[in-house]
Chains A and B, each alone.
Chain A
Amino acid sequence: MSIGLLALVVLLTVLIALAIRSGQDFGPVTRRFIEQFGTLVPRMLCALIAAGFIAQLIPKEAIASLLGEDAGLLALPIAAAAGLIVPAGPVITFAIAAVFAKSGASTAALVTFITSWSIFATHRILIYELPLLGASFLRLRLVSSFVVPLIAGLVAMAIGLVTGFGTVVPLQ
């Protein structure tokens, strides 16, 4: 059993214990589980299979030279730009991140990519942010958090100089 799974199982056990102690109704929990499972798992399967093929098709050297350790600081703006232009939710984004990781992208580049996507995700801006909050909030938020992905990447890079902690376990 991997550390990731172990940590999740421990957390789940604690939460179940808490829920039982507080007399929680497990009906809505089951319902939420089935609804999320139904939407995510079939898409996840297809996205991962597609990612497996894409990883075979794209030249690993190209990804490694843009996002790998050898790209140095340049990897960070490239990763931030890549995260910025993914107009989709986590299924596609994490499938792409897995392809990047398999092709030799550095941990710092992956941190930047995921952070950049999570902040700028264009589909979320169009579907939720503009209709609910409007353009003036969007402008304020984007300008305020513009540097966040790059700072995250720089800190990850600095940590990477000291320790290998956080290296992605390549999904293969």
Chain B
Amino acid sequence: MPTTAASFDFLKSAEWRRGVLRDAFGPSFWGFLAAAVGFGLVCLAVKGTDVVWDALVGDLGLLLDLMPRVLVALSIAALIWVLMPRDRMSALVGSDTGLRGLVVATIAGTITPGGPSSAYALLAVLAASGAERGALVAYITAWATLGMQRILIWDVPFMGAEFAILRFAISLPLPILAGLIARRLPFDLTIKGVAPTTPYRDSVDE
């Protein structure tokens, strides 16, 4: 569906705006703020004014450097979130018991966008539909270690593009390895209860 003025109606919803503010300044935000102030005070007491000042100036430089990258990364994540149908990603994961099944599961996990609330919901659906155990482990391990969202929003801005590429390249075969190990473990696997439906609004992984 193309963009129309009605596409942005959510901006007018007072309920939505309140929800965004509630999430932005929820309990964990105040925890982070308290940590920043608390460690600042300890730093002031132990190291003195100059060090606190230096740290703050350093932080400012860091933020100026970081913010453009974070903004672009968040835009990419938002586009991928909408462009990639999550249920179709996970539907790729099936009962193929060969190496192929693990490769497909790894790719699906890597490109599944979003935070843990959607990834685990998809995993539960897969498990309930009887997907093979190696593929289940490979899928969620790939989402955790290779997930594009995490690499774009966190690895690239904070650690640099080279580090992100290195970590991605090294981790690429590892979900397959985990899947192979899972297939050989003699554990009983009983999947819990009814699979939930995928939430439309993925809670943000903070």
Residues of A within 8 A of B (CB): 2-5, 7-9, 11-12, 15-16, 18-19, 22-50, 52-57, 89-91, 94, 97-98, 101, 107, 110-111, 114-115, 118-119, 121, 124, 127-129, 131-134, 136-137, 139-141, 143-145, 147-148, 151-152, 155-156, 159, 165-169, 171-172
- The SS class assigned to the A binding surface is helix
Beta-carbon contact of A90 and B127 below 8 Å: no
C-alpha spacing A43/B66, complex, angstroms = 14
Residues of B within 8 A of A (CB): 1-4, 6-11, 16, 20-21, 23-26, 28-29, 32-33, 35-36, 38-40, 42-43, 46-47, 51-52, 54-56, 58-59, 61-63, 65-66, 68-83, 116-117, 120-121, 123-124, 127, 133, 136-137, 140-141, 144-145, 150, 152-167, 170-171, 174, 177-179, 181-182, 185, 187-193, 195-196, 201, 204-206
Taking CB atoms, residues of chain B closer than 8 Å to A91 are 32, 206
CB < 8 Å: which of A25, A52, A90, A133 contacts B56?
A: A52
Beta-carbon contact of B206 and A5 below 8 Å: no
Taking CB atoms, residues of chain A closer than 8 Å to B171 are 115, 148, 152
C-alpha spacing A40/B16, complex, angstroms = 17
Beta-carbon contact of A57 and B43 below 8 Å: yes
C-alpha spacing A67/B63, complex, angstroms = 26
Known: A27-B7, A114-B167, A145-B137. A56 touches B55 (CB 8 A): yes
Taking CB atoms, residues of chain B closer than 8 Å to A98 are 158-159
Taking CB atoms, residues of chain B closer than 8 Å to A52 are 55-56, 58-59, 62
Taking CB atoms, residues of chain A closer than 8 Å to B3 are 24-27
Beta-carbon contact of A145 and B178 below 8 Å: yes
Taking CB atoms, residues of chain A closer than 8 Å to B24 are 38-39, 42
Give the residue name and chain of the B residue nearest to A116 (CB): B145
Beta-carbon contact of A148 and B178 below 8 Å: yes
Beta-carbon contact of B187 and A136 below 8 Å: yes
Known: A107-B166, A140-B189. A27 touches B10 (CB 8 A): yes
* Cross-chain pairs A/B with CB under 8 angstroms, 16 sampled: A26-B7, A35-B20, A50-B39, A57-B42, A57-B43, A91-B32, A94-B154, A119-B141, A124-B120, A133-B120, A137-B127, A137-B192, A148-B141, A148-B174, A165-B162, A172-B62
Beta-carbon contact of B55 and A28 below 8 Å: no
Known: A30-B78, A101-B159, A128-B117. A42 touches B43 (CB 8 A): no
CB < 8 Å: which of A124, A134, A172 contacts B192?
A: A134
Beta-carbon contact of A48 and B124 below 8 Å: no
Known: A90-B205, A114-B155. A140 touches B83 (CB 8 A): no
Q: Which of B2, B141, B154, B157 has the most CB of A within 10 A?
A: B154
Beta-carbon contact of B182 and A119 below 8 Å: no
Beta-carbon contact of A50 and B35 below 8 Å: yes
A5-B72, A98-B159 given; name 10 further pairs at CB < 8 Å.
A24-B82, A24-B83, A40-B206, A43-B29, A56-B55, A97-B158, A114-B167, A133-B192, A145-B181, A166-B163
C-alpha spacing A28/B7, complex, angstroms = 7
Q: A67 → chain B, closest Cβ, in Å?
A: 14
